Amino acid sequence: MPLARRLRSAVPLVAGAVLVAGCGDGTGTTTASPEAKEAGPGHPVRLDNCGQRVEVDRTPRRAVALDQGSAEILLSLGLADRMVGTATWTDPVLKGLEKANTGVPRLADRYPSFEKVLDTEPDFVSASFLYTLGKGGVAPREQFAKLGVPTYLSPTDCVGKDNSGDGDGVRTKPLTMDTVYGEIRDLARVFGVPERGEKLVGELRARVEKATVGVDFGDASVLYWFSDSQGPYMAGCCGAPGIVSGALGVKNVFDDTKEEWPQINWETVADRDPDVLVIADLTRRAQSAESAAKKIEFLESHPVTRNMTAVRNKRYVILSGQAMNPTIRTVEGIEKVAAALKTYGLAR
């Protein structure tokens, strides 16, 4: 049976779902439509999500998470048995999820083809980034919609963000953890496990509170380096690193740009001379200097960077790439940066 026809025959039996144009509420999280509220806690579930109306008539049984951040939310909600694929990984899976993750096929380390995703006969597809569900990624949301497969995009990549230009987008307002919590609640509701969503949100909130209670790092400054040594991607003011900086009351030396990940030359970096360098330790091989070890080797040998304060004092904080993305692991970023600043004697 042809691939598309096989998928069409599978979807009505499992999902009975469609996706049509709609509008988000702009509050930082997707919200249920009035019809969904009237339907009660079960299905059908209807959500306004990043400018699209998502309708899920039945609990998904064959979900595909196209980005690591989305996959780790589903795994954390105990939904591995309802997942038939994941893709686009930058790091090893979150500790504690190894066993669950082993049972879910990895379709690709980066973007799988649209056909490969369809081969899993999905009844629900989620992603962390607009690009993943757009041209150049896996496929636009409309292609899934034509086959009756609902898609969900993390509101962290659309609410308060302009993705119309080149690069990784521009934040029109600072991201907060509330948007991440909203994503967790949305996905938990789609899968009929809202109580698990609330439990996960509660655990994350408690960790943030524990990491930030009573902290005072004065005028300490930090820089967040995600990838590439030739044209380095540094964090702007208002994405996930902005959540970390805001929670700890420290200054991101590039908080004067609203670009998500601007490429900044090393002379400018050295001129800003941060107290601490927060470095992503990536396992992918897409750019130069992906691992933390390679980044540090570069910093300590390059004539422009080796005399920076943080480099001379070896003030490095190593984070997973996912901790620098707007995900549940941004909490890990808050915890590790706080601990490092204390270790480096920057707490008052």
What's the whole-model pTM score?
0.87
Q: Going by C-beta distance under 8 Å and a sequence separation of 6 or more, which residues neighbour residue 137?
A: 66, 111, 127, 129, 131
Q: Extract the tokens encoding 186.
A: 């949305």
Fold (topology level) of 215-343? Rossmann fold (3.40.50)
Taking CB atoms within 8 Å and a gap of at least 24, the contacts of 3-8 are 3/115, 3/118, 3/119, 4/118, 4/147, 6/121, 7/118, 7/121, 7/122, 7/147, 7/149, 8/147, 8/148
Going residue by residue through the chain (348 aa), what tens digit of pLDDT does each one get? 333 333 434 443 334 444 443 334 443 444 444 433 333 348 899 999 999 999 999 999 999 999 999 999 999 999 999 999 999 999 999 999 999 999 999 999 999 999 999 999 999 999 999 999 998 899 999 999 999 999 999 999 999 999 998 889 999 999 999 999 999 999 999 999 999 999 999 999 999 999 999 999 999 999 999 999 999 999 999 999 999 999 999 999 999 999 999 999 999 999 999 999 999 999 877 667 789 999 999 999 999 999 999 999 999 999 999 999 999 999 999 999 999 999 999 999
Place of tokens 């521009």: 170
Fold (topology level) of 3-205? Rossmann fold (3.40.50)
Kindly state the helix (H) or strand (E) to which residue 38 belongs, with its residue range.
helix 34-39
Predicted confidence at residue 42, as pLDDT, reads 80
Read off φ and ψ for residue 300, nearest 5 degrees: -85, -5
Distance CA 68, CA 66 (A): 7
Torsion of CA 170, 186, 56, 325, to 10 degrees: 40
Predicted confidence at residue 148, as pLDDT, reads 95
Q: How far is the CA of 194 from the CAs of 33, 83, 185, 187, 249, in angstroms? A: 17, 18, 7, 8, 33
Place of tokens 């090393």: 266
- In the chain, residues under CATH classification 3.40.50.1980 are 3-205, 215-343
